[in-house]
């Protein structure tokens, strides 16, 4: 193996260690396949451009174009034109990246392999691989090649799981040092075999280049060792804290537990500063996921939702007073462990019917009207309890004929100064619907289709923010969407309320049927009251973490994606956030394990996983099949080529030329290629001196070839017969079986 091959192996080790660091960020290793293949393609393209004599700028441009095409094939293959790029495919990649950037404000490692995350990972490692190849073998700048992997690895340590940081460092640092050493060896070989490391001590002769380089590297290492404790997380005070559930590092930095976190029980229309911490608030064990409700709000004063006046009764012997259950309800048993949730409200799914508190007994009350739970005194942090809840047994078919029920006037009242434009929008968006439920689905679809989710919404002074939100900005977070949906429903005469609580959270990796709920899962959603079913949830917020109720989605084949066939823009219905987050609202996106229909997968995800995973699987299988075909066809083509040469050989000279041509092919692949200015005998002698071919047959074949080519007489047939053996004059290479 030559010095360049060893240096390339060192670069591959460095790139592999960097890729391995993503394992501390992703919950699954699905990102590994497309990223690794992308790195191989990037290095291969850079190497090919170098062999063809293309400059560094041309190499980078070609690599960028190939990267774009590769991303389209893997992540938007269904939108390409037989593999060729299209505007729709490029737009889809852009939307996925935008969705990933938005989700990065909320997600916490380990994160799912969202399309946007994997696209950024593939693009980043493709760029790192290209720079590494060009900087190492063109510019001869190993430090330039090292900076991107070091920067990316450091970033991954900060945002990834802290538990894997130590093992990753043990892998990355030796890989980095091995790359530097092998690259240095390759550069020394290019300078010559005999290059001294240290210069002479007298002033009459300058020191060698390697001496200066070695000292500079030594000074750099010492400086880095002195500066690293100030910069790296968890060393000293740390410039960058670890991002973990306590939002701080293990060292004496600015991190540390934030204590109990309470959720604001009020919902406002006008946006304000939204702060959601990523620490774990509680865990809940249940056979299926649900929205965990804290309380429900019915009174709206034009900007803020508040809790309606209602009698609050004390929970007696763990039972809540309730009416006779109907045939349209189902029960859900939940076990809560409030590790870091503060405040006075207890989360529970649906309408609680029984409560059992573990440990210290606390006086617990329930709202007789909304049935939400709260403690009479103190804080709920540290409480453990079991609650049974009743959930409406709703399906799409049943809801199509369901009738909206009647509640108090406070559930249908709207502000006196509500804009006529808002009322007109409600009528316009639902004019094609033929039932109460279809109209509500039409409202949900409109918000999911034409609006965008963002937590960074500037506060705007307006006397009519609702009209501004519905007609101009069309951007907000859950408070704006739940408020707008509830008020539009009230203008149609439907009783509505806004509930505050949490999304289902993420399944715990070590425990089945356990969901970890964090501060970033805090959410508000609207509910509509139906006869026989009670309060039914809708989801207008176009956030990729929210979950569309499956009872709002028509499960019949070919039904489209707008649920009840209500209004909404044609051709774009079901695109979350006006296409910004890009997922189809179809029955295939619903996980049947979640019972209530609370699961709506992230952008680009199908029933069994993300769409890009299926696309990459097809691409990978195609590549494997192509490789197998090549492995079969190439030897077959070589054999045909060899047979064709011998078939055309009609004289001893041409037979010798065919034999030597076969020798060049096999020796060039298995030993070393012939140099342009190298004679046949010199080439054979070089291989013999390296002990890569047997001495006697190789030199004799080269001699016969030169005689056949340059002597006025053809080689004797007796010598040719001895050389050819059974069929040809090919030579067995050391360590290989005779061929031909």
The domains located in the chain, with CATH, are 3-195 (no CATH), 267-594 (3.10.620.30), 649-740 (no CATH)
SS3 365: strand
CA distance 553 to 599: 12
pLDDT at 101: 82
Which residue in 546, 552, 620 sits closest to 583, CA to CA?
Answer: 546
Q: What is the pLDDT of residue 601?
A: 35
Q: What is the mean pLDDT of the chain?
A: 79
Q: Is the bond leading into 547 cis (omega within 30 degrees of zero)?
A: no
Q: Of residues 1 and 299, which shows the higher confidence score?
A: 299
Asked whether 511 and 285 are in contact (CB, 8 A), the reply is yes
**Cross-strand bridge partners of residue 529:** 535
Mean pLDDT score, 246-256: 33
At residue 577 the predicted structure's pLDDT band, cuts being 50, 70 and 90, is: very low
Query: What is the per-residue pLDDT for 205?
Result: 45
pLDDT at 240: 44
Question: 682-697, pLDDT tens digit by residue?
Answer: 999 988 888 888 888 9
pLDDT tens-digit profile of 320-357? 766 555 666 788 999 999 988 888 899 999 889 889 98
Q: Could you tell me which of 388, 336, 335, 383 has the C-alpha nearest to residue 363?
A: 383
Averaged pLDDT for residues 24-49:
90
The pLDDT assigned to 392 comes to 87
Copy the structure tokens of residue 422: 């808002």
Residue 147 has pLDDT above 90, yes or no: yes
Q: What is the three-class DSSP state of 312?
A: strand
> Are the C-beta atoms of residues 545 and 478 closer than 8 Å to each other?
no
Predicted pLDDT at 414: 92
Q: Are 651 and 659 in contact (CB under 8 A)?
A: no
Q: Which of 240-249, 568-577, 656-665, 718-727 has the lowest mean pLDDT?
A: 568-577
- Which is nearest to 133 in space by CA: 2, 1, 15? 15
Residue 203 has pLDDT above 50, yes or no: no
621 CB-contact burial (10 Å; exposed 0-12 / middle 13-18 / buried 19+): exposed
Runs of H (alpha helix) within 138-194: 142-159, 165-191
Instruction: Tell me how long the chain is.
Output: 740
Instruction: Report the run of H or E that residue 51 belongs to, with start and end.
Output: helix 32-51
In degrees, rounded to 5, the angle at the alpha carbon of residue 275 between the alpha carbons of residues 119 and 280 is 75
Number of alpha carbons in the 13 Å side-chain half-sphere of residue 162: 15
Confidence of residue 460 (pLDDT cuts 50, 70, 90): low
Distances (CA, A) of 617 to 67, 81, 527, 552, 613: 18, 19, 41, 32, 6
pLDDT score, position 455: 79
Task: Tell me the three-class secondary structure of 672-734, residue by residue.
Answer: CCCCCCCCHHHHHHHHHHCCCCCHHHHHHHHHHHHHHHHCCCCCCHHHHHHHHCCCCCCCCCC
Q: What is the mean pLDDT of residues 270-279?
A: 68
Please say if the pLDDT value at position 23 is more than 60.
yes
Which pair of structure tokens corresponds to residue 235? 């060393």
Higher per-residue pLDDT: 498 or 579: 498
* pLDDT for position 113: 81
Cβ count within 10 A of residue 223: 10
Name the residue with higher pLDDT: 234 or 627.
627
Taking the CA of residue 202 as centre, how many other CA atoms within 13 Å lie in the half-sphere pointing to its CB?
2
| Most confident stretch, 191-200, 439-448, 626-635 | 439-448
Q: Between the CA of residue 601 and those of 17, 448, 501, 598, 674, what are the distances in Å?
A: 31, 14, 20, 10, 58
Q: Which of the pair, 427 or 361, is modelled with greater confidence?
A: 427
Give mean pLDDT, residues 45-68: 93
Tokens of 223: 């400086």
pLDDT at 329: 78
pLDDT of residue 330: 83
* Position 563 pLDDT exceeds 60: no
Average pLDDT over residues 585-599: 35
Proportion of the chain above pLDDT 70, given as a percent: 76
Position 693 scores a pLDDT of: 87
Top pLDDT among 73 and 269 is at: 73
pLDDT at 441: 94
pLDDT average, residue stretch 393-417? 88
What's the confidence (pLDDT) of residue 230? 56
> Which helix (H) or strand (E) is 101 found in, with range?
helix 87-104
More confident residue, 113 or 117: 117
Give the angle subtended at the CA of 202 by the CAs of 196 and 203, to the nearest 5°: 105
Number of H helices, E strands in the chain: 18, 20
């Amino acid at each position: 193996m030559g010095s360049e091959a060893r240096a390339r192996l060192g670069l591959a080790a460095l790139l592999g260690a960097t890729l391995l660091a993503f394992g501390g960020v992703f919950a699954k290793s699905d990102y590994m396949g497309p990223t690794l293949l992308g790195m191989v393609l990037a290095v291969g393209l850079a190497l090919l451009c170098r062999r063809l004599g293309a400059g560094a700028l041309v190499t980078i441009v070609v690599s960028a174009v190939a990267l774009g095409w590769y991303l389209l094939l893997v992540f938007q293959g269904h939108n390409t034109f037989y593999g060729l790029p299209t505007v729709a495919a490029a737009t889809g990649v852009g939307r996925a990246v935008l969705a990933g950037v938005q989700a990065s404000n909320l997600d916490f490692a380990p994160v799912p392999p969202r399309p946007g995350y994997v696209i950024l990972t593939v693009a980043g490692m493709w760029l790192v691989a290209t720079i590494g190849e060009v900087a190492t073998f063109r510019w001869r700048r190993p430090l330039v090649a090292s900076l991107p992997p070091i920067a990316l690895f450091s970033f991954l340590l900060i945002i990834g799981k802290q538990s894997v940081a130590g093992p990753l460092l043990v892998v990355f640092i030796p890989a980095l040092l091995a790359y530097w050493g092998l690259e240095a060896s390759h550069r020394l070989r290019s300078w010559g075999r005999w290059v001294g490391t240290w210069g002479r001590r007298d002033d009459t002769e300058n020191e060698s280049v390697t001496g200066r380089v070695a000292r500079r590297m030594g000074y750099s290492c010492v400086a880095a060792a002195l500066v690293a404790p100030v910069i790296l997380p968890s060393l000293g005070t740390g410039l960058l804290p670890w991002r973990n559930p306590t939002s701080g590092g293990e060292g004496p930095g600015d991190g540390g537990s934030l204590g109990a976190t309470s959720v604001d029980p009020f919902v406002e229309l006008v946006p304000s500063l939204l702060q959601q911490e990523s620490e774990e608030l509680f865990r809940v064990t249940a056979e299926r996921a649900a929205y965990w409700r804290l309380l429900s709000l019915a009174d709206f004063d034009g900007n803020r939702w508040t809790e309606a006046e209602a009698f609050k009764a004390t929970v007696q012997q763990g039972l809540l007073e309730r009416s006779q259950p109907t045939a349209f309800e189902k029960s859900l048993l939940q076990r809560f462990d409030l590790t870091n949730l503060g405040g006075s409200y207890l989360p529970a799914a649906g309408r609680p019917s029984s409560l059992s508190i573990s440990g210290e007994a606390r006086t617990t009350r329930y709202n007789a009207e909304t049935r939400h739970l709260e403690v009479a005194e103190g804080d709920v942090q540290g409480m453990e309890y079991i609650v049974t809840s009743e959930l409406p047994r709703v399906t799409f078919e049943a809801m199509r004929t369901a009738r909206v029920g009647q509640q108090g006037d406070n559930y249908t009242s709207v502000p006196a100064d509500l804009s006529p434009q808002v009322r007109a929008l409600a009528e316009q968006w639902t004019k094609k619907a033929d039932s109460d439920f279809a109209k509500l689905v039409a409202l949900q679809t409109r918000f999911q289709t034409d609006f965008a989710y963002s937590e960074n919404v500037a506060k705007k002074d307006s006397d009519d923010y609702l009209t501004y939100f519905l007609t101009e900005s069309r951007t907000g977070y859950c408070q704006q969407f739940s408020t707008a949906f509830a008020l539009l429903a009230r203008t149609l005469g439907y009783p509505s309320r806004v509930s505050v609580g949490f999304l289902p959270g993420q399944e715990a990796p070590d425990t089945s049927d356990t969901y970890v709920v964090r501060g970033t899962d805090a959410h508000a959603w609207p509910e509509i009251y139906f006869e026989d079913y009670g309060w039914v949830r809708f989801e207008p917020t176009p956030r990729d973490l929210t979950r569309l109720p499956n009872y709002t989605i028509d499960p019949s084949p070919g039904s489209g994606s707008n649920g009840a066939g209500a209004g909404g823009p044609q051709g774009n219905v079901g695109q979350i956030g006006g296409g910004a987050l890009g997922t189809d609202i179809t029955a295939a996106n619903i996980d049947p394990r979640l019972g209530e229909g609370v699961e709506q997968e992230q952008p680009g995800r199908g029933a069994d996983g993300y769409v890009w995973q299926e696309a990459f699987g097809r691409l990978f299988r195609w590549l494997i099949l192509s490789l197998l075909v090549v492995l079969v066809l190439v030897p077959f083509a070589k054999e045909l080529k060899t047979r064709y040469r011998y078939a055309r050989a009609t004289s001893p000279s041409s037979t010798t030329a065919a034999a030597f041509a076969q020798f060049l092919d096999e020796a060039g692949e298995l030993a070393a290629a012939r140099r342009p200015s190298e004679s046949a005998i010199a080439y054979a002698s070089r291989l013999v001196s390296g002990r890569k071919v047997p001495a006697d047959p190789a030199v004799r074949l080269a001699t016969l070839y030169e005689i056949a080519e340059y002597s006025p007489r053809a080689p004797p047939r007796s010598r040719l017969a001895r050389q050819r053996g059974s069929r040809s004059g090919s030579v067995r290479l050391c360590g290989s079986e005779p061929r031909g």
